[in-house]
Amino acid sequence: MSRILVVEDESAIAELISINLRHAGFEVTLASSADQAQYEVDRVLPDLVVLDWMLPGQSGLALARQWRSAVRTKELPIIMLTARAEETDKVSGLDAGADDYLTKPFSTNELLARIRAVLRRKAPEALDSLVEISGLSLDPGTRRVSREGAEVKLGPTEFRLLHFFMTHPERVHSRSQLLDRVWGDHVFIEERTVDVHVKRLREALERVHCARMIETVRGAGYRLTQLSAALQA
């Protein structure tokens, strides 16, 4: 389930957004100031942030800029909300690093459509689309993993880990990035936890001859790669 952080100081709007997002299957956390939003992001990295521009104290715009300049949050998907419809505001919002921009009042259907579009582009593991690489298919809807009819049984963490790898293939992910993106926590969980779950994942994938798709990149982390044609046979 994708985690969405809604940063909005007007409680009626915050409530309306969170009810609709929860109804659409998202897990929602609310924050009413930039400080609180930063606290929530430090605690658990969300899959996406809906960020109001006008907040008491530090503005949403300044917060977006701050997140973009920090290593941990520079890829964090952000949709900016604003009551101001001027074109220059839209430009500064996007300049500050927002992935999309919505002017109040907006319909919740439009917000949902924008959220899905941004997630598809930046965090496809947060959506329920089926993914397939080298014949290995993973269906988040039914939580099934299989290859050529043979099913792979995975625990919930191995499933999330494989889902993340398959939606971000051929890229090296450090243990700390994996903790953030798969566990949502990089502070309280030790990095060797990642190694334990990667080992379990490889053992499970062995059954369908896909264990070597998960590569260890020395000194850097892990990567999921396609099976070469010769090995697929």
In the complex, minimum distance from the CB of residue 30 to Ca ion, in angstroms, rounded to a whole number? 13
Candidate residues 9, 35, 89, 139; the one interacting with Ca ion per rule CB under 5 A: 9
Span interacting with Ca ion, options 3-11, 106-114, 207-215, 218-226, rule CB under 5 A: 3-11
Reported as half-sphere exposure (CB side, CA atoms, 13 A), residue 227 has a value of: 18
Residue among 50 and 205 whose Cβ is closer to Ca ion: 50
Helices assigned H by DSSP within 8-59 = 11-23, 34-43
Query: Interior CA angle at 26 toward 221 and 111, to 5°?
Result: 110
Residue among 54 and 189 whose Cβ is closer to Ca ion: 54
Span interacting with Ca ion, options 50-58, 65-73, 142-150, 185-193, rule CB under 5 A: 50-58
Closest CB to Ca ion belongs to which residue?
A: 54
Residue among 17 and 213 whose Cβ is closer to Ca ion: 17
Candidate residues 16, 24, 44, 54; the one interacting with Ca ion per rule CB under 5 A: 54
In the complex, minimum distance from the CB of residue 6 to Ca ion, in angstroms, rounded to a whole number? 11
Residue among 9 and 139 whose Cβ is closer to Ca ion: 9
Residues 6+ apart with CB under 8 A from 7: 30, 31, 32, 33, 34, 36, 37, 49, 50, 51, 52, 55, 60, 63
Span interacting with Ca ion, options 47-55, 66-74, 91-99, 216-224, rule CB under 5 A: 47-55
DSSP string, 161-214: HHHHHHHSTT--B-HHHHIIIIIS-SSSS-THHHHHHHHHHHHHHHTTT-GGGE
Residue 196: how many other CB atoms lie within 10 Å: 11
Number of residues that bind Ca ion (CB under 5 A): 3
Residue among 12 and 233 whose Cβ is closer to Ca ion: 12
Candidate residues 47, 52, 100, 125; the one interacting with Ca ion per rule CB under 5 A: 52
In the complex, minimum distance from the CB of residue 27 to Ca ion, in angstroms, rounded to a whole number? 22
For residues 115 and 14, what is the distance between their CA atoms, to the nearest angstrom? 15
For residues 73 and 50, what is the distance between their CA atoms, to the nearest angstrom? 14
Enter the tokens of residue 13: 């709007």
Q: Decide: is 40 part of the binding site for Ca ion (CB under 5 A).
A: no
Contacts with Ca ion, residue ranges (CB under 5 A): 9, 52, 54
